[in-house]
Copies of this chain bind each other. A is one copy, B any other.
Amino acid sequence: MQTPNLPTIVLITEETLDIDSLLARITLPSTGASVVFTGVVRGVTSRGRPRQTTRLEYEAYPPMAEEKMRQVAEEIRRKWPSVEGIAIVQRVGNLEVGAPTTVIACTAAHRDTGVFEAARYGIDRLKEIVPVWKKEIGPGGEEWVEGLYHPEPGE
């Protein structure tokens, strides 16, 4: 680990996400900016196959998911060394429309040193390599969602 003193939080949880307290935990005395991405359970989808969703059921392979989240955080630190704190949290279980499902938060001294790009990269990579799956439950029945990305061995 090259960055032993910088806070990194990775977590799979069934609890409601608390962005304010996550941010406080990744804020250093040198922090002046943070960017947070959240996923949200979408009740009405118009892109692709238009549909309604009642809730999402999330399932994870927790120990591997947390290892892969830690890997995403390390990739962020390599690409944007100015990032100070990182939190990557995925909520699992039954989530209702409007509920935040995931949080990717990055802090830095200033807003112009990659903190927006780092958060964007974090959610993109989470959706590629972190073993979490969701099932959409709607008026027409239920269906597992499948991603498109096939990680390389060892990725």
Of A28-36, A64-72, A143-151, which binds chain B?
A28-36
Contact assessment for B37 and A111 in the assembled complex, using a CB-CB cutoff below 8 Å: yes
Nearest-neighbour CB distance to chain B for A138, whole angstroms, equals 12
The B-contacting residues of A in range 8-48, CB under 8 angstroms, are 17-20, 23-24, 27, 29-47
Copies in the complex: 2
Contact assessment for B123 and A29 in the assembled complex, using a CB-CB cutoff below 8 Å: no
Interface of A is mostly: mixed
Bound: A30/B40 CA distance, A:
9
Please pick, from B19, B45, B109, the residue contacting A109 in the complex, using a CB distance under 8 A.
Answer: B45
A20-B18, A29-B44, A38-B23 known; A123+B111 contact, CB < 8 A: yes
Report A's interface with B, CB cutoff 8 A.
17-20, 23-24, 27, 29-47, 97-98, 100, 107, 109-111, 116, 119-120, 123
Bound: A29/B43 CA distance, A:
5
**Given A31-B42, A34-B100, 18 new contacts (CB under 8 A):** A19-B19, A19-B23, A23-B38, A27-B98, A29-B43, A29-B97, A30-B45, A30-B46, A34-B36, A34-B38, A35-B37, A35-B116, A36-B36, A37-B116, A40-B107, A111-B123, A116-B116, A116-B119
